[in-house]
A and B are shown apart, each in its own frame.
Chain A
Amino acid sequence: MSFDEDKIENEMEKSQRYLQFDLGNESYAIALLNVKEVIPVPETTPLPNAPTYYIGIMNLRGQIISIVDLRKRLKINKKEDAEEAVIIVDFAGVSIGLVVDSINYVLNVATSEITEVPEIRSQVNAQYVQGVHRGQGKLTIMLDLAKALNISEIAGLQKNAA
């Protein structure tokens, strides 16, 4: 491996990019690596016997994708005048769309800037939180999407329902 590659890898380790968005009155972020694209809220087809946070399936350029309301999933009250959007995330080959309140900006965060243990009170269950970032005058919660979504749980719930 060349010297340059080493250097790049080190830099990658040091800082990561996150997509910052709002859920209710709090600000959250997920790793940009998992984000495929951002789209306006699409028309969806509901799925029978689905949990309430499961909005339905949509047709994203020929691919069928599940849309989940992240606010309902995390039991956060939605913002009143929210300009909703959908973030399409990709997890180990599974694409899921997340409905969130306004999407803000891409955050460049050094790993050292993320506090491990959140000393704040959030509406979100602590197990979904990866860390907290302080910056630009506010707190941003780094969401552990894999845990928050629990893909197998979604699938499991539906299996039971059917």
Chain B
Amino acid sequence: MEDFEQELKMDFLEEAEDLLSAAESAFLRLEEERDDSDLLNEIFRVAHNLKGTSKAVGFDQMAQLTHIAENLILKLKEGELEVSDSIVSGLLEFKDKVEAMIAGLQDDLNATFDTEAVTQKLEALTLGESSVDEDASIIEENGTQKEVELSNDLPEAECFDEEPISSEEVPDAAMFEGGNNDVEVNDAALESLRELGFDTEEFEAASNEVEAKEESLSFENIEKLPEVKEPAKSEEVAAPVAKKETKKESGQKDESIRVNLSRIDNINNIIGELVILQTVLSQRRYVNIKDELSNKSISMMSKLFKEVQEVAMSLRMLPLKGAFQKMNRIVRDTSKALGKDAKLVMVGEETEVDKTVLERISDPLVHIVRNAVDHGLESDEERVAQGKGKGVIHLKAFHEGSNLAIEVKDNGGGIDHEVIKAKAIEKKIITPSSTLTPNEIIQLIFHPGFSTKEQVTEVSGRGVGMDVVKTNIEALGGQVKVDSKIGEGSTFKILIPLTLAIIEGLVITADQEKFVIPLSQVHELTQVHDTDIEKFTGAAELFKLRGEVMPLFHINKKLGAKVTEKKSNIVVVVKGLERSFGVAVDDVLIQQQIVIKKLGEDLKGKQGIMGSAIMSDGMPSLIVDLFELFKKDLSASKAHKDFKEAQAA
């Protein structure tokens, strides 16, 4: 029976994770749409659900905490309390706590947690205590947090402390409360409207009306205000559309079922196999198969199989939405911690990407978005001085060929390449005499150990820099670039292959066996004749390619072939991070798309082999990672080179 109970608990935790991410986005939306009763109902339902199930499976602590949160939400729903900044923060804090609890419980089902601080805060909020009191309670709470919860992420906790209590500092949030703040926002909005050639009189009238009815804000006005606001954003035409879509979705829930990933992989396997059999049949059409109907059926089948394969592949694809919504929170917390007024505009959150890619894109994205708010945007004072409006981070995703493209654009000060250059020279990354273009210089921010901001802030610049972002993205087979205009802002563009399951590969032979080299590792193919090769005893062979000397390795020898005699002069040139090298192969057959198959547990960790592929004849071949395969040889040849240089000196 214990097993059953444990399974039930684990199932609940998984479900709770989903509920929480739904809750987070709802809380954040609440900040913008304070009177949305549908939204409040939705939040209430989530909280209620969480409370009920956590109680049922025996997580009493979580049930208690959720109960308190539910009380607060109920008051909001009934209109006894009004949504305020501190309430949203409280709810977000509650969500963080429950999230931490879930993570803790997943490790140890009997874990207990310190929920005092959050409980107190939520209770205070439920009683509708004034913001002054709340401020005091935060300080107190911070004290206890530091003592009791060592695991708590401190910078995040500080985000809440620095949160402005008066709503004046957050005009956007105050939008719907009426009053002066509205007009302020609208002025800025109207200005940009004028620039865009809109007739603004109507909107002005609308905002004046709001001012007049400061006290009791009628529903109609709420309807009108977003209208005023949305055209203001028309620089990004798609933005309001995206917003509307989210609204619609909260109304009707997407029906879905939870399917184990291994089942999907399984069906993909089987379909892949069917397609191979199908190819065999297709090749025999009219040659070995004479029957007209059979031939027709085979060609019909190939079409259907192609379709089925596409559908099966798409099962692994998920919308970016989850990862994007996390950014809402990042921008909110970061900007508040820094006292900057920033907002996030998202486009294309429905763009789909492979689940594995989705999981691994989140961290680099968080880093870039945080950086955009911290380093990208100027301080509010500076912006005002320059006559710039509110800081805006644009997050945009779209498909570009077989890649997923994500752009993070800020309207901040941009990157000064002169500053970067000076810094790079100071850090000995480049020499003063280097002749890099301004654009190339800007890319240097991805160089390891590069951080221009003198002062290390809590928000970003914690030792890990953009180089980590770059490494992470490259590990996904992607690339990242930055484009910047001084005074106008910077754009980070990430390009990532839509799926990790398919790569572009070069099929080569070594000792009669086929091997696949990922095309991303192949810089060029060249012919190297014996006369071009220099041999050193005990060291790698060297050859010269357009003046550059690089070591030459033989894939035959490396892969333990019996026959080592050379069959061709073909050399695959690989450009490494530090140096390039050549790999002699027997023959190059074809360049094609390769579906990567995982190797079994028994073969995991085999150096230099990153997976296998099933070739068109149905036989498996190994995919080799040349960097890994020749890692030792490379370091040996480097050591040799260093030794030679030292000797010469």
The answer to whether B600 touches A59, judged by C-beta atoms less than 8 angstroms apart, is no
The answer to whether B606 touches A158, judged by C-beta atoms less than 8 angstroms apart, is yes
List of B residues within 8 angstroms of A61 by Cβ: 269-270, 273
Main secondary structure of the interface of B (DSSP, over half): mixed
The answer to whether B605 touches A64, judged by C-beta atoms less than 8 angstroms apart, is no
Q: How far is the CA of A58 from the CA of B614 in the complex (A)?
A: 9
The answer to whether A94 touches B621, judged by C-beta atoms less than 8 angstroms apart, is no
Q: Give chain B nearest CB distance to A97 CB in angstroms.
A: 10
The answer to whether A45 touches B559, judged by C-beta atoms less than 8 angstroms apart, is no
Q: Give chain B nearest CB distance to A38 CB in angstroms.
A: 19
List of A residues within 8 angstroms of B558 by Cβ: 48
Chain B stretch 605-619: residues in CB contact (< 8 A) with chain A: 605-609, 612, 614, 618-619
List of B residues within 8 angstroms of A46 by Cβ: 513
User: Is A27 among interface residues, defined by CB-CB distance under 8 A?
Assistant: no
Interface string of B583-608 (1 = CB under 8 A from A): 00000000000000111111111111
User: Is A40 among interface residues, defined by CB-CB distance under 8 A?
Assistant: no
Q: How far is the CA of A62 from the CA of B598 in the complex (A)?
A: 10
User: Is B560 among interface residues, defined by CB-CB distance under 8 A?
Assistant: yes
The answer to whether A62 touches B606, judged by C-beta atoms less than 8 angstroms apart, is no
Q: How far is the CA of A161 from the CA of B559 in the complex (A)?
A: 9
The answer to whether B619 touches A45, judged by C-beta atoms less than 8 angstroms apart, is yes
Q: Which residue of B has the minimal Cβ distance to A152? A: B602
Q: Give chain B nearest CB distance to A88 CB in angstroms.
A: 11
Q: Per a CB cutoff under 8 Å, which of A45, A65, A92, A158 touches B621?
A: A45
User: Is B620 among interface residues, defined by CB-CB distance under 8 A?
Assistant: yes
Q: Per a CB cutoff under 8 Å, which of B608, B619, B620 touches A162?
A: B608
Q: Per a CB cutoff under 8 Å, which of A43, A62, A92 touches B597?
A: A62
Q: Which residue of B has the minimal Cβ distance to A1? A: B1
Q: Give chain B nearest CB distance to A45 CB in angstroms.
A: 5
Q: How far is the CA of A15 from the CA of B433 in the complex (A)?
A: 82
List of A residues within 8 angstroms of B620 by Cβ: 45, 57-59, 64
Q: How far is the CA of A114 from the CA of B612 in the complex (A)?
A: 42
List of B residues within 8 angstroms of A158 by Cβ: 603, 606
Most buried by B among A43, A57, A58: A57
Q: Per a CB cutoff under 8 Å, which of B602, B605, B614, B618 touches A94?
A: B602
User: Is A122 among interface residues, defined by CB-CB distance under 8 A?
Assistant: no
Q: Per a CB cutoff under 8 Å, which of B514, B607, B612 touches A57?
A: B612
The answer to whether A59 touches B605, judged by C-beta atoms less than 8 angstroms apart, is no
Total cross-chain contacts (CB, 8 A): 79
User: Is A39 among interface residues, defined by CB-CB distance under 8 A?
Assistant: no
Count of chain A residues with Cβ under 8 Å from any Cβ of B? 27
User: Is A135 among interface residues, defined by CB-CB distance under 8 A?
Assistant: no
The answer to whether B618 touches A48, judged by C-beta atoms less than 8 angstroms apart, is no
List of B residues within 8 angstroms of A130 by Cβ: none
The answer to whether B602 touches A66, judged by C-beta atoms less than 8 angstroms apart, is yes
Q: Which residue of A has the minimal Cβ distance to B604? A: A155
The answer to whether A43 touches B619, judged by C-beta atoms less than 8 angstroms apart, is yes
Chain B stretch 177-232: residues in CB contact (< 8 A) with chain A: none
Q: Which residue of B has the minimal Cβ distance to A157? A: B606
Chain B stretch 492-535: residues in CB contact (< 8 A) with chain A: 513-514
User: Is A138 among interface residues, defined by CB-CB distance under 8 A?
Assistant: no
Q: Give chain B nearest CB distance to A158 CB in angstroms.
A: 5
Chain A stretch 90-118: residues in CB contact (< 8 A) with chain B: 92-96
The answer to whether A94 touches B608, judged by C-beta atoms less than 8 angstroms apart, is no
List of B residues within 8 angstroms of A65 by Cβ: 600
Count of chain B residues with Cβ under 8 Å from any Cβ of A? 32
The answer to whether A48 touches B560, judged by C-beta atoms less than 8 angstroms apart, is yes
The answer to whether B600 touches A96, judged by C-beta atoms less than 8 angstroms apart, is yes
Q: How far is the CA of A14 from the CA of B295 in the complex (A)?
A: 55
User: Is A146 among interface residues, defined by CB-CB distance under 8 A?
Assistant: no
The answer to whether B605 touches A159, judged by C-beta atoms less than 8 angstroms apart, is yes
Q: Give chain B nearest CB distance to A137 CB in angstroms.
A: 37
User: Is A127 among interface residues, defined by CB-CB distance under 8 A?
Assistant: no
Q: Give chain B nearest CB distance to A62 CB in angstroms.
A: 3
The answer to whether A161 touches B597, judged by C-beta atoms less than 8 angstroms apart, is no
User: Is B622 among interface residues, defined by CB-CB distance under 8 A?
Assistant: yes
Q: Per a CB cutoff under 8 Å, which of B272, B559, B598, B614 touches A48?
A: B559
The answer to whether A162 touches B607, judged by C-beta atoms less than 8 angstroms apart, is yes
Q: How far is the CA of A151 from the CA of B514 in the complex (A)?
A: 26
Most buried by A among B561, B604, B622: B622
Q: Which residue of A has the minimal Cβ distance to B512? A: A46
Interface string of A131-162 (1 = CB under 8 A from B): 00000000000000000000100110011011
Q: How far is the CA of A93 from the CA of B598 in the complex (A)?
A: 13
The answer to whether A162 touches B609, judged by C-beta atoms less than 8 angstroms apart, is yes
Q: How far is the CA of A66 from the CA of B599 in the complex (A)?
A: 9
List of B residues within 8 angstroms of A47 by Cβ: 603, 622
User: Is A49 among interface residues, defined by CB-CB distance under 8 A?
Assistant: yes
User: Is A63 among interface residues, defined by CB-CB distance under 8 A?
Assistant: yes
The answer to whether B606 touches A45, judged by C-beta atoms less than 8 angstroms apart, is no
Q: Give chain A nearest CB distance to B359 CB in angstroms.
A: 21
The answer to whether B605 touches A155, judged by C-beta atoms less than 8 angstroms apart, is yes
List of A residues within 8 angstroms of B618 by Cβ: 59
The answer to whether A62 touches B600, judged by C-beta atoms less than 8 angstroms apart, is no
Q: Per a CB cutoff under 8 Å, which of A62, A151, A162 touches B614?
A: A62
Q: Give chain B nearest CB distance to A154 CB in angstroms.
A: 6
Chain A stretch 15-70: residues in CB contact (< 8 A) with chain B: 43, 45-49, 57-59, 61-66
Q: Give chain B nearest CB distance to A99 CB in angstroms.
A: 16
The answer to whether B559 touches A49, judged by C-beta atoms less than 8 angstroms apart, is yes
Most buried by B among A46, A63, A66, A93: A63
Q: Give chain A nearest CB distance to B284 CB in angstroms.
A: 19
The answer to whether B603 touches A66, judged by C-beta atoms less than 8 angstroms apart, is yes
Q: How far is the CA of A154 from the CA of B601 in the complex (A)?
A: 11
Q: Give chain A nearest CB distance to B348 CB in angstroms.
A: 33
List of A residues within 8 angstroms of B629 by Cβ: 162
List of B residues within 8 angstroms of A154 by Cβ: 602
Q: How far is the CA of A154 from the CA of B599 in the complex (A)?
A: 14
| Other A-B pairs, 9, CB within 8 Å; known A64-B599, A158-B603 | A43-B619, A45-B514, A46-B513, A48-B558, A59-B618, A62-B272, A62-B273, A94-B601, A154-B602
Give the 10 A-B residue pairs with the shortest CB-CB distance, closest first: A62-B269, A48-B559, A162-B607, A49-B560, A62-B273, A94-B601, A48-B560, A59-B620, A61-B273, A64-B612
CB-defined A-B contacts under 8 Å, sample of 28: A43-B619, A45-B620, A45-B621, A46-B513, A48-B559, A48-B560, A48-B561, A49-B560, A57-B612, A58-B620, A59-B273, A59-B614, A61-B269, A61-B273, A62-B269, A62-B272, A63-B597, A64-B620, A66-B600, A66-B602, A94-B601, A151-B602, A155-B602, A155-B606, A158-B606, A161-B560, A162-B606, A162-B629
